[in-house]
Structure 1
């Protein structure tokens, strides 16, 4: 496990008003209008906290979100809703699910094709939303994507292709196709000229953060949040930086796979440039196998995140096994590879003597209250069982 601190030079200088409480409440109102909306559970792992020697350990469990087994639908649905609202010259607060799926709105919009690139969860959320709207979705997946995730997206009536490209190149392919055919690109990666939709996606994740904020019985001292391109990490960091001002803000640590640690590399370089990971990114954390940071998310992180860690795959496997086979008295959490890595990182830091310096710098003590987000359930069941049952990616010292 590698560790770095974010530079202090740009602390609190970038504007994060778009992730404030007012916006988060508007996003939550949008999601609450969906008939399948239910608040996902915040699990209090009292026994695990006691064993690790901290005051509290809470995990927000997104495996229950909209029956899709992952949080990603929050961003995709809000971005599509915001796109439709803008197209119709409406405020998103006036566009409920019922209105969005109505024949009246459908007739006004005509036919729209939404296109995206994904390892699975994001694409399924976009395809699901398009299906609700009786619109078309096209999804490109990077090489190595699992058949189960492919079939889950296909079941939402999407046109799906597993490419021979890595994630970032699949994004470029989708964007080229969107430009060529006049389709709508729905991606959380941002670049010059493509800012609105990724910004809406980031705001969409605010529902998860606001729910957790309302559910927590005590203020968290530490938040550990995973990063792919950094959109989710930016959303959570920005929300809690707005909710708890300045010295009250929890210490935020960004967690990534070492094979795709573009946020870690960018933070570690501290030269003002985004640092990419190129080529094949061999990690079982498919949802985090992204080599190019989202510049919108990065601007939030460089000002308001505190630390970044780069983890081998066994850290995630440790989290998966521990959450899935809890200490008696704690609630079981089924967590996929990308969902479990923050919890695994916390466990490693608090139980491995070699992590003493990291633990000290991050400030983990017996008074610490930790919040993690399980962003997905077992979306690749074969891999889940190979880890949970067969000992794949065994933890080691």
Structure 2
């Protein structure tokens, strides 16, 4: 469905009813696997859970019981969540090369002189819009290895330089993100490098699964933090998606852990890179790609080809797929930067804030009442959001928050919306 606000959505009841696949949680994202992941992450110096903030006054303004947002800008000083996937996947890969299990591995063991002597020189290669590449580069630096990173055209200079500061090579290409992925694969084949990518293709599934498992750490932390605060499990979770790996990982873990108590999952994408929304709308069960420049303010979500592993999970279980214009992300950024009452101020980048921007629009727009009612959003709803990045492009952040770039859509039917 298309809205005059520019927000498009596709609704499902309890998953895609036309495919006939069993709706069981992905076993590789279950509690036992997640505990292995967390044990490894805890072995990394500087690990601590990212904060979970309670936005009490904003929840009151929007008419829901509670809003919680996990602030991933604190993750290992890298200003984004991607390091969770990169560290675990590289850790699993190197452990296998050393002939040890992940249960035996630790970050210190992998960076030891003995391990490096056995492993020899390893070069990791990846494609990125910024955060994933920086995570791979940081991990390689920590382990005394090398990284080569390819970025799509138009990548923010701050993100490129953050990668180079780790000692990695960073190359801005003339193509979009998906073309950068294909280039990284080609270079790996030609040079004997190891690809570390969170999307899968034929013959390349282990590392994408390990990356997805790495992302479950933040979901496990969130549930523990909710329990410690005495709050109930969330009724709704808004998950932004590029190739879909983070969204599927969080949803798969929550479904495995919570079963019938799992929250309704709303998948959020930018218009120009809405491959999951398009795949759901086509409805034949297959993942479909989106072509073009994929240009959007939400650089971390500018991916046109879904991860097929993630797609199968989201296809069968997500409650809704929503495609958003850029102003929705900008609105979320400004709301978090200038919250009501004594709610905490959160510095959230474009990809990190789009979930809150969409939630606010759903709750205050009469035009989106059907979506609100279908999802059961109201006074008893407990919302969980993930701010997956901070101001990783500081200039863009200031242009939006200070300069008013991407203003709220001028829609007469929404003139009565107020926060």
Residues 1:4 and 2:14 aligned together: no
Structure 1 pair 348/15, CA: closer, same or farther in 2 (3 Å)?
closer
Deviation at 1:36, TM superposition (A): 1.1
Q: Could you tell me whether the CA contact under 8 Å between 2:92 and 2:102 is conserved in 1? A: yes
1:237 counterpart residue number: 251
Please state if 1:208 is matched with 2:218. yes
Aligned to 1:147: 157
| Cα distance in 2, alignment partners of residues 248 and 95 from structure 1 | 34
Alignment of 1:265-280 (within 5 A): 265-280=278-293
Q: Counterpart in 1 of 2:240? A: 226
Deviations, residues 311-366 of structure 1 (Å, cap 9, x unaligned)? 00000000000001011210111000000001111011001111111101111011
Equivalent residue number for residue 88 of structure 1: 98
In 2, distance between residues paired with 1:214 and 1:92? 23
Aligned residue number for residue 363 of structure 1 = 376
Q: Contact 2:25 / 2:252 at 8 angstroms: preserved in 1?
A: no
Q: Distance in 2 between matches of 1:326 and 1:12?
A: 42
Does 2:181 match 1:175?
A: no
CA distance in 2, matches of 1:318, 1:15: 33
8 Å contact from structure 1 (residues 319, 341) kept in 2: yes
Q: CA deviation at 1:8?
A: 2.3
Partner of 1:28: 38
Task: Check whether the contact 1:19–1:206 (CA below 8 A) recurs between aligned residues.
Answer: yes
For the 8 Å contact 1:12–1:304, the answer to whether it is kept is no
Deviations, residues 99-140 of structure 1 (Å, cap 9, x unaligned):
111001111100000000001000000000000111000000
TM-superposed CA distance for 1:211, in Å, is 0.4
> Which residue of the partner structure matches residue 298 of structure 2?
285
Task: State how far apart, in whole Å, the 2-side matches of 1:176 and 1:14 are.
Answer: 35
Query: 1:303, CA displacement in angstroms?
Result: 2.0
- Aligned partners of 2:22, 2:44: CA distance in 1, in Å? 35
Q: Determine if the alignment matches structure 1 residue 311 to structure 2 residue 295.
A: no
CA distances 1:364-386 after superposition (whole Å, capped 9, x unpaired): 01100000100000000000000
After superposition, the C-alpha distances for 1:223-251 in whole angstroms (9 at most, x for unaligned) are 00000000001101100000111x32110
- Aligned pairs (5 A) from 1:314-353: 314-353=327-366
- What displacement does 1:11 show? 6.1
Counterparts of 1:60 and 1:308, CA distance in 2: 21
**Cα displacement string for residues 119-170 of structure 1 (whole angstroms, at most 9, x for unaligned residues):** 1000000000000111000000000101100000000110110000100010
Q: 1:240-266: CA deviations, max 9, x gaps?
A: 000111x32110010000110001111
The two structures, once aligned, show a CA RMSD in angstroms of: 1.0
Match of 1:79?
89
Aligned positions of 1:30-69 closer than 5 A: 30-69=40-79
Q: TM-score, normalised by structure 2?
A: 0.93
- Segments of 4+ moved more than 3 angstroms: 9-15
SS of the aligned residue for 2:103 comes to helix
What is the distance in 2 between the residues matched to 1:293 and 1:170? 15
Given that 1:30 and 1:96 are in contact with CA atoms closer than 8 Å, whether structure 2 keeps it comes out as: yes
Name stretches of at least 5 consecutive residues in structure 1 with no aligned partner: none
Q: How many positions carry a matched residue from both structures?
A: 396
